[in-house]
Structure 1
Amino acid sequence: MSIATPTPEPTPEDISRGLAELERHLGKQTPAVAPKVRPIEVSGETKRVQRLRAEVTEAHLLAGLQDDDAPLMLDTPKVRKRRKAAREASRLHELAQDPAMRAWQAARMLRLLVVVAMVSLTLALAWSTAGVQHFASEGATLWSPSWVFAWLVEPFMSMALLFVVGARAYLATRGQPIVSRTLVRIEGVFLALTFGMNVWPYLPWSLPEGKAFTVSGIVLHILGPSIAVAIVIALPIVLSAFARLDHGPISKGVTGPEYRPNMPSTYRAEHTYSSADIDALAARVRQMIADGELPADVGAASIRKALRCGMDTARAVRDALAEQAT
């Protein structure tokens, strides 16, 4: 049986040697970190010098590019916006010169004017209704039959007047204004009745005792009839002027035949032929008949088409052929 030998206790020197060995071992296992090395500055190349050198280099580059005008040739957004507006205005102006557009604008304005005139005329006649009712009732009791029927005097006169004015206005827009003294007299009678019935109760000799005469009362009650008179006189004249408007040449094949028989036109005035010219045209038609281009019993429509003249001239040639045949 052997006896265990006791392990000697380490001395402080042994502990120090062990720690040194451990540090050496760990140093071999961990890669060494390279120490930070400050860049060596060349003599005179400070940060200020570097900034100035960069500024000088930039200036030389800008000087070389400054002579190039390419950026100045590009349109800015504002320039493009103005060019677009100018092009649009040019197209709109060109469109406004088109005969069809001018005719459409005239028709639109004419419709607006007629509506305004008729509304104003209706309001003016409605304004005078109260004055006419006061004249026609002759102091009748409120809501009595005479008082109620007095309100109908002005409406039936206004309807008759609007009938005449509307007919004249419509025919004026169709290029066939009614020139009739009878209709003018009828309009004058209706307007005179309306005017007189509005003014009569407020004249000095018609006022009741104790009521003073005032000019404002007369003016207030003649306002409606005066406007009605003005519209009735002016509306046919304005509409006739619109009917005579010349919107430019009419494109053939779009608005119908070139010639419009028995209808005044401002687009093309037919040439006035003398009797000698009619005879010459008749001789030309006879030659066409002899050549077989036209039938023997040629009519005015065929003559107009063959000679390219107006219907009135074609009728005159037809009559000349008939006279020469007899």
Structure 2
Amino acid sequence: MSTTSPIPEPTPEDISRGLAEIERHLSAQPPPAPPSPADRDTKRVQRLRAEVTEARLLRDLQADETPLMLDTAKVRRHRKAAHEAARLHELAQDPAMRAWQAARMRRVLVTAAMVSLALALGWSTAGVQSFAAAGAPAGSPGWLFAWLVEPFMSLALLVVVGARAYLGTRGTPLNDPKLVRIEWLFLGLTLGMNAWPHLPWALPAGEDFSFSRLVLHILGPVVAVAVVTALPIILAAFTALDHGRGERLTGLTYGANTHDPVRTAGPNVPALIERARALIASGDLPAAPSAYRLQRVLGCGMNDARDVRDALNPPTK
């Protein structure tokens, strides 16, 4: 039978030491936080408080106009289209662009005139063949050779008209009286040979005169006469165009103490010239930049870009 040792009774010092430990532990603990008003509020009060807080935040955000300053996709498209239209309009005023447009239109008109002339002469081939065959049987040598009359006359006429048209597009009108008389000779022969078999006194016995048939057969020669007459006049008008180059070179003023010419048309040209010179010195621009390059780099209009270009590269005397 085992015996247990009796537990010693605590001494007054042990009791004092234990009480001190308990006091230190209790003093080290933080005081309990008072309950928040939200914990004491009902659910209805909490929902209403959240709604009021949200409304105040929405009011502050709606008062900010920053989103209204942003461009929508539609506004961006319209601004891009407007900018493109302005650039195209400005480009259309450029003398080089106007000269290119005139040259293109001149080529189109000359091509259309020559095609129309070739078709008109081809239209009259049947009428000339009928006149030249003079009643020869179909398939006979005379009937076959009659088909060659209009082609060789048309080729000779096209040589003269083509030469005059080409030289006219190069600014050298060819108005020699001999060539003009040759043109009218070929056109007169074509017109006469088409019209003669259908005139009242040339009709076979018993055949009635038809004005519509006469007009139909002389239609080709009449169109050829109109083309040959109008084409030199049109080309002379194109040759007289200056495309505004004279206007661009006027209005130069020279400063009393400066070496470069400066135009008075653009108020910002002197500042643009200084910027261009700085960019040339830094190597961002070539020594003789074009007006289009200056417009892109400086972000100015084409007129000011031309002014800057002419100021940086004064014309040699």
| TM-score grouping bracket, smaller chain normalisation | 0.5 to 0.7
Cα distance change on mapping 1:50 and 1:229 into 2, 3 Å: farther
The residue that corresponds to 2:159 in the other structure is 163
Over the residues paired in the alignment, what is the CA RMSD in angstroms?
2.4
Matched, 1:227 2:227: no
Q: Which residue of 1 aligns with 2:43?
A: 45
| 1:200 aligns to 2:207 (yes or no) | no
SS of the residue 1:196 aligns to: helix
**Match for 1:107: what amino acid?**
A
In the TM superposition, what is the alpha-carbon distance from 1:54 to its structure 2 partner?
4.1
Aligned to 1:189: 185
Secondary structure at the aligned position of 1:245 is classed as coil
> Matches of residues 1-326 of structure 1 in structure 2 within 5 Å?
45-46=43-44, 53-249=49-245
Distance 1:62 1:190, change over 3 A: same
Provide the rounded CA distance (Å) in 1 between the counterparts of 2:146 and 2:214.
21
Report the AA paired with residue 223 of structure 2: I
Task: Report % sequence identity.
Answer: 69
Residues of 2 paired with 1:246 and 1:71: CA distance? 52
- AA of the residue aligned to 2:87: R
Distance across 2 between alignment mates of 1:231 and 1:143: 34
Higher mean C-alpha displacement, 203-212 vs 183-192: 203-212
The residue matched to 1:247 in structure 2 has which SS? Answer: coil
> How many residue pairs are counted as aligned between the two chains?
211
Instruction: Name which one, 1 or 2, has greater alpha-carbon Rg.
Output: 1
CA distance in 2, matches of 1:228, 1:168: 15
For residues 155-201 of structure 1, the C-alpha deviation after alignment (integer angstroms, 9 at most, x for no partner) is: 11111111211222222222222233322222111111111111111
Structure 1: where are the runs of 5+ without partners?
A: 1-40, 251-307, 309-326
Return 5+ residue gaps in structure 2 as ranges.
1-38, 247-316
Q: Which residue matches 1:27? A: none
Number of the residue aligned with 1:294:
none
Distance 1:82 1:90 in 2: 12
Q: CA distance change for structure 1 residues 50 and 128 in 2, over 3 Å: closer, same or farther?
A: farther
SS at match of 2:43: coil
TM-score of the pair, normalised by structure 2: 0.61
- What amino acid sits opposite 1:45 in the alignment? K
> Which residue identity is paired with 2:91?
L
For 1:77-115, what per-residue CA distance to the aligned partner results, in whole angstroms no more than 9, with x for missing partners?
Answer: 111111111112222222222222221111111111111
Using a 3 Å threshold, how does the CA distance of structure 1 residues 42 and 100 change in structure 2: closer, same or farther? same
Q: Distance in 2 between matches of 1:50 and 1:120?
A: 90
- Structure 1 distance, partners of 2:194, 2:180, is 21
Which residue identity lines up with residue 43 of structure 2 in the other structure? E
Moved more, 217-226 or 83-92: 83-92
